[in-house]
Amino acid sequence: MANVVIVYTTWPDADTAEAVGAEAVAEQLAACANVEAPIRSIYRWQGAVERATEVAMTLKTTDKAAPALTAFILAHHPYELLCVLAWPVDSEISHGDYLDWVQEQVAPPAINEIGNSEIP
């Protein structure tokens, strides 16, 4: 059985994040995508400290689908260098019924189909 993984990523705006999140769920790469309220990001880029308003998105998937989900995000993201972080969920202290639901919603992806969707 697959383990549940959380994938965190940031986006330039809610519309782009929602479009990609919806497609990831439709393609069964993720069980759920949470598009969060705008955040303020402060980071160093090309030698300067930058500030930007972004939108965070958290996706729930499985360890088997996480590489395909990451590839999907990379293929549909507008940034040159983007944040995609993943970490495993501790099944011992998480809600088992929810973890089961996530696993039921995520299908093992067909690798050759990743990144072919038309998302702005």
Q: What is the mean pLDDT of the chain?
A: 91
Q: Which residue has the higher pLDDT, 119 or 104?
A: 104
* pLDDT above 70 coverage of the chain, percent: 89
In 54-89, which positions are buried (b, 16+ CB within 10 angstroms) versus exposed (e)? Answer: bbbbbbbbbebbbebbbbbbeebbeeeeeebebeeb
The better pLDDT of the pair 112, 59 is held by: 59
**Residues in Cβ contact with 20 at an 8 Å cutoff, skipping those fewer than 6 apart:** 11, 57, 72, 73, 76, 77, 119
When pLDDT is averaged across residues 23-52 and rounded to a whole number, the result is: 97
User: Residues 44-78: pLDDT tens digits?
Assistant: 999 999 999 999 999 999 999 999 999 999 999 99
Which domains are assigned to the chain?
4-113 (3.30.70.120)
CB 17 within 8 A of CB 35: yes
**What mean pLDDT do residues 19-37 have?**
97
Give the residue, 30 or 115, on which the prediction is more confident: 30
Percentage of the residues of the chain whose pLDDT score is greater than 90: 87
Q: What is the pLDDT of residue 16?
A: 97
